[in-house]
Amino acid sequence: MIEGFHIAESPKDIAFYASLLFSSFAIAQTLTIMYWSRLSDRIGRRPVLLMGLSGNFVTFLLFAVSPTFYLALGARSLNGLLAGNVAVIKSVLAEISDDSNRARVMALLPLVWNVGSVAGSAVGGVFADPAREGGMLEGSRLFTLFPYLLPCLVGSSVTLVGLVLGTFVVKETLRKRGDSESVALIGGRPRRGFRELMTPVVGSVMFNNAVSSLVISMSDQIYPIFAATGRGDGGLGFDSREIGYSLAISGLAVFYLQLVVYPRMERRYGALGCYRRGLLVLVPYLVAMPWVSFVAERWLVWPLLVGLLLVKVAGQVLVFTSINLLTVNLAPSREDLGFMNGVQQVAMSATRMLGPLMGGVAWSWSLRMGTGYPLNSHFVWILSAALTAAVYSEVGDLDKVLRVVWRQLPLELEPSGVLVKMLAAPVNPSDLNQIEGTYPVKGRFADEVVGREEGSSVKRVAVGGNEGVGVVEAVGSGVDDLRVGDWVVPRRAGEYGTWCTRTVVERSAVAGVPLEWRLGVDALTVGSLKVNPCSAYRLLRDYVGLAPGDWVIQNGANSGVGRAVIQMARRMGVRTINVVRDRSPDEYGDLERELCSLGADLVVRDSELGAEWLRTRVRELGPLRLGLNCVGGRMALAMSKHLGLGATLVSYGGMSRQPVVLPTSLLLFRDVRACGFWMNRWYENCGPVERDRMWRDVLAMARDGAFVAQPMGVSTWNEDLGLEEMRRVVETAAAWNSAKKQAFVFA
């Protein structure tokens, strides 16, 4: 096509103009993709998809009938401006899937992309210039004038089919608050701003996404040019039909790789592990491909070529499917899916703009220079392989980013400084999410001197942990309300990290725990005070005026908050129905006895929530006035159906990572109220008097034996704690089926 525009001065310049034409789409798409993505968050996914398909249909035909290079360039650019569908489709797939099937569903997008790429290449190779001598439409005036119209008509007809299906078959997937069918609670907050969403982990994922796209787009664009280049210049000497066949043959493997291989690998290695393996798979393809030209005239060329293209397809499947999964999993809510996928698409489009240009320029330059290896036809492939190695980096895995280091504390305290020796600190799920970058409260990064004196250096680090108790060892000259020996806890989450032997903090960052409150209470209980027991305390007091004899239903009953709810409700004379996850009969029996010993009145499996015997029992007990949810998804829905008239459902967690959806009938006819609770938000809004009263009450319950903290696996942290022990504790805490909460006690 470029040759037909008569713009290239020599065959060696064709790669440059092809790269420019290829990149124009990505350049234009980069400018508008965020607009389309955010628009889909507001008006819905379906309208934006239909607009994108309409734009693609029109601009594809304009491209086909462009008589000059610059008109073709304009048509491609207009196509890019109107193309927001890829990012929106990712949001749709995320909204129609859940954790149980998301890997398989998200694998469909790269599947259809690869099938389309292969089919498009084959269509282009077979149907291009049909009016030529020996062509299927030899002598046609229309196709002589527009030699590339036929493959574009085939492509436009596919777009037209998609447009018709989208208009009459596809349904809207974006649920908005106030929807006539349901109300989504989890993820139903106003859209977040750019700074809230662009966490360090998100930035790392987007960087890896960008450079991976750069590498793959460069190699994708250069392959047909490499294949079409003469053998004397380091190419294969293929015609357009042979290029199309080579891509079509390798593309057949996409179905098996996407639908069978990837879901199995994702279950075993996770999305990040699959991404890394995909990068490693691409390296041999990039290194070996230019050497195929040495056997271009022999029968070996096709087995070698197809084998390498299969390796390339496998690498692309692993890389792009994993990046899509990582991006979707980083979105805090459904309303932010469009933004997250838009940012991902911007990163991809920007580098897909640069990749073809870099590849085309590097190819043309290497042919013009006429130098030997590695600056000959191998140069662009070597460049791609080098870029692949450079993006083999971390994106926030706990086992990768956590380190145990020496921190050199200041020799002199500031007037408002407090030196704290830690006594005990639990490992909460929110601590792990914060390290991964997926928790709303971010860690406090600061420049600190790290390492032993002989090998110390200044690094920007954040200390893990948000909860714990320590003892004051020294205070600054301006601190007059704390003394050496006092116990202190963080005033709020994120004030300072608690997983350390000693730390220096501002006086405003800590709250004292008076001796009379903590007499008879061990350090681990005091260190675990602020989150789980205090959440239970507030949940039972702030939403419904519970009276002795009232009933409460909760899921996640064996969690830290759930156990505290059972014990505090018993102290108030309130009865509890406690839902736990299905497990073996022996395990269930042990857990039931344990929860009943704490004061549970009724323990049921989640599979029994729809049972007729439970509905009958609830009717006998009287209306349930309060439901407490920390799981979400189907369990929250099934539990909410037992709530009585005017009851309140409070969500304080979402362990299933599925939204809480309430049927309209519960809202209209039973007047069920739904809201959320976050302990950190309560601390931000409360006064010190109210906070201290709560802490005093909870510690009094612990001292009197009315409240027993959740069983914990305790690890002793001394000056020589090793990284392996730290990782063991964190991995145990992160396991979904961990029997005990983990905690550190400092020697």
Compute the CA torsion angle 717, 718, 723, 726 (nearest 10 deg): 0
Contacts of residue 173, Cβ cutoff 8 Å, sequence gap at least 6: 45, 46, 91, 92, 95, 96
Contact 356, 346 (CB under 8 A): no
Contact 531, 490 (CB under 8 A): no
Distance of CA 472 to the CA centre of its chain: 40
Bond into 374 cis (ω within 30): yes
Measure the CA–CA gap between 214 and 233, rounded to whole angstroms: 25
Residue 628, SS3? Answer: strand
Measure the CA–CA gap between 329 and 681, rounded to whole angstroms: 24
Please report how many Cα atoms fall inside a 13 Å half-sphere around the Cα of residue 602, on the Cβ side.
17
**Annotated catalytic, 543?**
no
* Sign, CA torsion 162/323/360/374: negative
The beta strands (E) that lie in 476-527 are given as: 487-490, 502-506, 510-513
Number of Cβ within a 10 Å radius of residue 474: 14
Measure the CA–CA gap between 267 and 507, rounded to whole angstroms: 46
Concatenated DSSP letters of 282-322: HHHHHHHGGGGGGGTTSTTHHHHHHHHHHHHHHHHHHHHHH
Report the run of H or E that residue 648 belongs to, with start and end. strand 643-651
Among left, alpha and beta (phi > 0; psi -120 to 50; other), residue 622 is left
The beta strands (E) that lie in 320-433 are given as: 417-427
Give me the phi and psi of 591, to 5 degrees please. -70, -40
Q: Are strands 712-717 and 446-450 parallel, antiparallel or unpaired?
A: unpaired
Contact 33, 345 (CB under 8 A): yes
Q: Which two tokens stand for residue 422?
A: 């830690």
Nearest one of 349, 377, 116 to 223, comparing CA atoms = 377
Contacts of residue 268, Cβ cutoff 8 Å, sequence gap at least 6: none
Q: Which two tokens stand for residue 80?
A: 């890019």
Nearest one of 437, 605, 630, 662 to 535, comparing CA atoms = 630
Q: Which two tokens stand for residue 744?
A: 């550190």
Measure the CA–CA gap between 312 and 107, rounded to whole angstroms: 16
Distances, alpha carbon 16 to alpha carbons 12, 355, 358, 406, in Å: 8, 12, 9, 53
Residue at token pair 């982990």: 201
Measure the CA–CA gap between 600 and 602, rounded to whole angstroms: 6
Residue at token pair 């004030």: 495
Q: Which of 17, 275, 285, 439 is catalytic?
A: 439
Active site residues: 439
